[in-house]
Amino acid sequence: MRILEIRLFNFRNLHEQHLKLSPQLNLFLGPNGQGKTNLLEAFHFILRGDSFRYTEADSLKNYNAPFARVDAKIAIGGLVHEVRASLENNRKSFFMNGKRCTPRDLHQKFHAVLFSPESLAEVKESAEHRRDLIDQVLEMSSPRHLDLLEDFKKVLKTRNRLLRDRQSVTEVGALNMLDRVLESLQPQFLSLATDLTYERLQILAALQNDFQSHMRSISASMTVDISVDYLISQQSAQCMTKLAIESLLHQRLQELVSAEKSHGGSLVGPQKHEIRFLLNGKDSRFYASQGQQRALIISFKLAQIVYHRLLRGNCPVLLLDDVLSELDAGKRSALITFLKGMDAQTFVTSTDLGLSQTFSEFNSDVSWIQDGRLHKPDMAESPIPENAIVNTFTFENVLENGFKKLGQELSQEAGDQELNSVR
């Protein structure tokens, strides 16, 4: 799977641009706050139909623009698909090969794995983040799993609405009617909850060996032992059969009938399950360093990529948003070594100019981002020195590290803008 080219129109702070992309590595360098993450968000938007940030839809477009649009040509399975994602009047619309489609259609066709500073913290975040991590693997694995996730969310939403509505009703007849509807919904909810829980456990089992292998590689230690524990009402479900899962969920639904009605929401089901990453048998939230927690998430995502390739016959697009600066030298080297061995199109953002040398063995394309505009440095005339690692950017930094020609162009552009504002 490859994104061949992409066109941007008013997407966040990014100006109208047309990018032809490398099939292997695309490196976007620049200071903080210039649009690097916005660019990766545009890739995510065209592939998945949503943002990886928690944001209002309307914020995806430039503040002064009436609309935002992303167009792309995406090659997969020997075919090239023309995809459009747009936003106007706070409404999203999507087209594939000239026909209107839905985010679900994009989810089924195109896949991406995101590495971000936020994602590296998912070990210590709430259980919801870890459940989402597993569900992302599920929905990318097959249309059947995507259907299961969507069906469960629909039934859960209906059930929660009924429980919430019940709290505002005092008339006995209306209460009895709501209870009958809830009771009629119970078999479907239990069936979907059981299926989703079981499929999550199956996915975790399928990932375990590669998860362990990558963690040992990144940690440079063959004695590191990792596992994942899945808890239902504080009981480990790792060795449960599907029938045992259904029985436990049914029991808890019976026990918490009154509590759910009082609470006004569902207290039982996979939306409440805990997932713990264990490092040498201990909960990594409390017994792992920050570096070890990051290594766990990276290892899990690497296992996800390998599993996807085994299942689908191709690699997902990889989006790395300034994560290399979050890693120590050993973990950075292990991740780069993995990327070299994978036939995956990769997009990397960073403030580190030296990365162009780090990835010198890749078939790469390097761009500089300044004020929402992408520029191509003349790498042949001005190679970046091997030791050029810059974290705080000024134009002087840029000039000293191989972007002299580009820096002059940007300075001239800034001068022209200043002159125009005086006029």
Q: Whole-angstrom Cα distance, residue 219 to residue 137?
A: 23
- Give the range of the structural domain holding residue 48, as residue numbers without chain letter: 1-111+317-372
Q: Are residues 340 and 300 part of one domain? A: no
In 220-362, which ranges are continuous DSSP H helix? Answer: 242-255, 257-263, 284-287, 290-312, 329-341, 355-358
Look at residue 327 and tell me if it is in a domain: yes
- Mean pLDDT in residue range 151-164: 97
Contacts of 25 (CB under 8 A, 6+ apart): 339, 345, 346, 348, 359, 362, 363, 364, 365
CATH of the domain at 299: 1.20.1050.90
* Token pair recorded at residue 313: 């016959």
* Token pair recorded at residue 363: 């078939």
pLDDT band at 350 (very low <50, low <70, confident <90, very high): very high
Question: How high does pLDDT run on average in the chain?
Answer: 87
- Of the candidates 367, 369, 364, 291, the one whose C-alpha atom is nearest the C-alpha of residue 334 is 291
CATH of the domain at 36: 3.40.50.300
Q: Render pLDDT for 15-64 as a digit per residue (tens, 0 to 9).
A: 899 999 999 999 999 999 999 999 999 999 999 999 888 777 788 888 88
Q: Whole-angstrom Cα distance, residue 179 to residue 162?
A: 9
Helix (H, G, I), strand (E, B) or coil at 408: helix
Domain boundary residue among 356, 372, 388? 372
* Token pair recorded at residue 301: 């995502």
Look at residue 198 and tell me if it is in a domain: yes
pLDDT band at 341 (very low <50, low <70, confident <90, very high): confident
pLDDT at residue number 327 = 85
Q: Whole-angstrom Cα distance, residue 46 to residue 296?
A: 28
Q: Are residues 125 and 67 part of one domain? A: no
pLDDT band at 99 (very low <50, low <70, confident <90, very high): very high
CA 113 to chain centre: 5
- Looking at residue 8, its amino acid is L
pLDDT at residue number 378 = 60
Q: Are residues 173 and 97 part of one domain? A: no
Q: Are residues 248 and 353 part of one domain? A: no
Domain count, the chain: 2
Q: Render pLDDT for 356-414 as a digit per residue (tens, 0 to 9).
A: 788 877 888 999 999 999 988 764 444 343 333 333 333 334 334 444 444 444 445 44
pLDDT at residue number 359 = 82
Q: Whole-angstrom Cα distance, residue 290 to residue 120?
A: 9
Domain boundary residue among 272, 292, 315? 315
* Token pair recorded at residue 359: 């990835």
Q: Are residues 55 and 3 part of one domain? A: yes
Q: Are residues 250 and 126 part of one domain? A: yes
Which H/E stretch holds residue 202? helix 172-219
Q: Are residues 269 and 190 part of one domain? A: yes
In the predicted structure, residue 351 carries a pLDDT above the cut 50? yes
CB crowding 237-261: b at 16 or more within 10 Å, else e: beebeeeebbebbbebbeebeeebb
Q: Are residues 139 and 8 part of one domain? A: no
Look at residue 380 and tell me if it is in a domain: no
- Exposed, middle or buried: residue 394 (CB in 10 Å: 0-12, 13-18, 19+)? exposed
Look at residue 398 and tell me if it is in a domain: no
> For the chain, what percent of residues have pLDDT higher than 70?
89
- Mean pLDDT in residue range 165-172: 91
- Looking at residue 238, its amino acid is Q
Q: Whole-angstrom Cα distance, residue 337 to residue 72?
A: 29
Q: Render pLDDT for 284-320 as a digit per residue (tens, 0 to 9).
A: 999 999 889 999 999 999 999 999 999 998 899 999 9
- Exposed, middle or buried: residue 341 (CB in 10 Å: 0-12, 13-18, 19+)? exposed
Helix (H, G, I), strand (E, B) or coil at 229: strand
Look at residue 247 and tell me if it is in a domain: yes
